[in-house]
Each structure stands twice: as structure tokens, then as C-alpha cells.
């Protein structure tokens, strides 16, 4: 009887946990859209006038301004504007750019692949570099070498993204013309921007993983396995490392958010087309629909990555499903 009840209870807990996390993610995405809408649409400026004459009010045709304000629903009360915009967003219609007249969704779709390639390349490089540094620190036998390797990530976390980018440009593009300084052509143009984002991120990964490895090495089960005669190498890769990587998995969403934020600076430094350059240009001309589209896209990526991590996390530790589901019940 127990053998049939427990699987059913576990399945119920898993579904309850998944539904609760999905509902929370949807709420976060709605909140991000609402907050960005309120902040952007109460700014003391008229984007239509800016679009028509770059801010010179004496050259504005009032009739043309009124027509465009009606076209973009800017003459409606803020609540009505919000309702119209939210309904359109639910249909994946983020409006039309005030500056170019193009659909915001199309502009984001055109710019997203370059930024996605940059962020994913940087994330992959950061995970490899962070894992290598953490394993080197954990495996070092000499105390001073171990201390130096464990302290290195703290220095890397403090490095500003723009400073790393400018330094790499000076070394590997101007002094030694190994990689191109700007552009989106070919994989060579991706190396320096990805390295710029990867180095500080790798330091964060190494810092978290080093602390986690140190904590797992001190667990009682490690001492028990050592007593059974397992080598340090086998202990590390079979038992210690799988348990130590769980905190890194949980911070994947934060890392993606940092990479998306850093892409604005990185794409500017390296003159790359992407979401970052699109956001910078939209902010400069106060193109509110595009700015909000970028905010919503970044929030959606952040929410989706965190949702996937939350749903995958119980696979590593099934106790989480039962405990969280009961806590949310």
C-alpha cells in the first residue's frame, strides 16, 4: 500500500511545485511590464515632438503632433494606455517604434540573435574558466598556492566591464592585431566581447564554486568515503563536484541577467549590433515603445531561465519538491 501511495504523493507535490513556480514567474513578468510602463510613460517629455523635430518645439506642427499622439494612444488617460498596451503585449505586439515606425517585436527579433550569441558564448566561457579555477584551487596541495587561487576570483569580480573591454581592445586589437576591434562579422569579432563579459562572470562562478567545494569536502560522507579507500580524484569528480555545483546552477538566472546588462556596455565598446545598442539608441531619443520592449525581453529571459532552473533543481534533490510544495500549500 505504501509503495503505491508514495509515488502518487510525489507526483502531486511535483505538479503543485511546478504550477506554483510558473504562476510566480508569470506574476514577476507582469510586474516588470507594469513597473516599466508606469516609469516610462510618466516621464516629463513628449516623444512625438522629439521624433518630429529632435526637440525644437518651435518647429512642431500641432496638428501633426495631435495625429501622432492619437495614433500611439498618447492622448488617452494613462490607465487606458496601459490596458491597450497590456492587451497588445499579451498578443506579442509590443507596439511601433516612435523613431523608425517599425514594429518593436521585429526590431527585437532582428537584434536578439547577436546578443544571444554573445551572452551564451560568454556564459559558456565563464563556466569553463570558473570551473577550472575552482578545481585548481581545490586540488592545490601547497597552502600558499591554494590561498592565492582562492583569492583570485575576488579580484576578478571587482573588474568593471568597460575597463576589461578597453584593455582587451588595446592588447589584442590595437597593439597586437589578433582580433577585430568592432563589428559582427565572423566568429573572430565575437571573441573579445565574449571575453569581456566572461572574465568577471567566471570570477563569480569560481568564487561560489570554491566555497561550495570547501563546504562539501568537510561533509561527513566525504570522510566516510575516504575511509573506504576512495582516491581524492575519484571523490572529487564522482561525489564532491556534483554536490558542489548545485549553488552554481541556482545562480544561472542571475548570471544571465548580469550578462544581458553587461551587453549594453560591451556592444557599445565594440560597436556591435544587438539588444544593447538598440536599447542605448532608444534611450537617447526617448523611444518609449522600444525601451519598454527591451525591458520586457530582458525580464522574460530572466524569468524563463530562473523558471527552468527552479524546475530542474528538484531533479538534483527531490526533497525540495516536497518541502517547497508543502510550504506553498
Q: Residue 228 belongs to a domain with what CATH number?
A: 1.10.3720.10
d(CA 229, CA 85): 65
Residues 6 or more apart from 31 whose CB is under 8 A from it?
Answer: none
End-of-domain residue from the set 90, 116, 138: 90
- Residues of the chain with pLDDT > 70, as a percent, come to 84
Q: How confident is the model at residue 91 (pLDDT cuts 50, 70, 90)?
A: confident
Q: Which of 39-53, 73-87, 89-103, 115-129 is predicted with the least confidence, judged by mean pLDDT?
A: 39-53
In this predicted structure, what is the pLDDT of residue 73?
72
- Domain with 58, as residue range(s), is 2-90
End-of-domain residue from the set 43, 67, 90: 90
Question: Looking at the domain assignment, is residue 34 inside a domain?
Answer: yes
- How many independent structural domains does the chain possess? 2
Mean pLDDT (whole number) for 112-126: 89
Q: How confident is the model at residue 54 (pLDDT cuts 50, 70, 90)?
A: low
d(CA 193, CA 83): 39
In this predicted structure, what is the pLDDT of residue 147?
76
Query: What digits encode the pLDDT tens for the residues 209-238?
Result: 888 888 888 888 888 888 888 888 888 888
The DSSP output letter for 44 is S
Residues 6 or more apart from 62 whose CB is under 8 A from it?
Answer: none
Shared domain for 64 and 114, answered yes or no, is: no
In this predicted structure, what is the pLDDT of residue 325?
47
Question: Looking at the domain assignment, is residue 321 inside a domain?
Answer: no
Q: Give the pTM.
A: 0.76
Shared domain for 173 and 220, answered yes or no, is: yes
Shared domain for 252 and 120, answered yes or no, is: yes
Residue 257 has pLDDT above 60, yes or no: yes
Shared domain for 111 and 85, answered yes or no, is: no
Better-scored residue on pLDDT, 65 or 92: 92
By the 8 A CB rule, do 37 and 292 touch? Answer: yes
Would you tell me how many other CB atoms lie within 10 Å of the CB of residue 268? 16
Better-scored residue on pLDDT, 254 or 212: 212
In this predicted structure, what is the pLDDT of residue 88?
86
Pick from 125, 185, 167, 162: nearest CA to 263: 162
Question: Looking at the domain assignment, is residue 19 inside a domain?
Answer: yes
By the 8 A CB rule, do 72 and 48 touch? Answer: yes
d(CA 295, CA 279): 9
Residue 245 has pLDDT above 50, yes or no: yes
Residue 17 has pLDDT above 50, yes or no: yes
Amino acid at each position: 500500500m505504501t509503495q503505491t501511495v508514495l509515488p502518487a504523493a510525489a507526483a502531486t507535490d511535483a505538479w503543485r511545485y511546478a504550477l506554483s513556480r510558473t504562476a510566480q514567474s508569470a506574476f514577476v513578468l507582469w510586474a516588470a511590464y507594469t513597473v516599466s510602463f508606469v516609469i516610462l510613460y510618466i516621464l516629463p517629455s513628449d516623444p512625438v515632438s522629439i521624433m518630429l523635430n529632435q526637440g525644437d518645439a518651435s518647429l512642431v506642427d500641432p496638428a501633426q503632433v495631435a495625429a501622432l499622439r492619437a495614433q500611439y494612444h498618447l492622448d488617452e488617460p494613462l490607465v487606458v494606455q496601459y490596458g491597450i498596451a497590456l492587451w497588445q503585449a499579451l498578443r506579442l505586439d509590443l507596439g511601433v517604434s516612435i523613431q523608425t515606425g517599425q514594429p518593436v517585436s521585429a526590431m527585437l527579433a532582428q537584434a536578439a540573435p547577436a546578443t544571444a550569441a554573445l551572452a551564451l558564448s560568454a556564459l559558456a566561457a565563464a563556466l569553463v574558466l570558473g570551473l577550472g579555477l575552482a578545481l585548481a584551487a581545490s586540488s592545490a596541495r601547497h597552502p600558499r598556492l591554494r590561498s592565492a587561487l582562492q583569492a583570485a576570483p575576488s579580484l576578478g569580480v571587482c573588474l568593471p566591464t568597460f575597463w576589461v573591454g578597453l584593455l582587451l581592445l588595446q592588447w589584442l586589437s590595437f597593439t597586437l592585431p589578433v582580433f577585430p576591434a568592432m563589428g559582427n562579422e565572423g566568429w573572430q569579432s565575437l571573441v573579445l566581447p565574449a571575453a569581456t563579459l566572461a572574465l568577471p562572470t567566471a570570477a563569480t562562478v569560481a568564487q561560489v564554486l570554491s566555497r561550495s567545494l570547501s563546504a562539501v569536502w568537510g561533509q561527513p560522507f566525504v570522510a566516510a568515503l575516504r575511509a573506504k579507500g576512495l582516491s581524492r580524484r575519484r571523490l572529487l569528480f564522482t561525489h564532491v563536484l556534483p554536490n558542489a555545483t548545485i549553488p552554481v546552477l541556482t545562480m544561472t538566472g542571475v548570471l544571465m541577467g548580469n550578462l544581458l546588462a553587461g551587453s549594453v556596455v560591451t556592444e557599445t565598446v565594440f560597436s556591435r549590433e544587438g539588444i544593447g545598442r538598440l536599447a542605448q539608441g532608444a534611450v537617447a531619443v526617448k523611444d518609449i515603445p522600444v525601451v519598454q520592449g527591451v525591458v520586457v525581453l530582458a525580464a522574460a529571459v530572466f524569468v524563463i531561465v530562473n523558471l527552468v532552473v527552479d524546475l530542474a533543481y528538484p531533479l538534483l534533490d527531490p526533497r525540495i519538491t516536497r518541502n517547497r510544495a508543502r510550504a506553498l500549500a
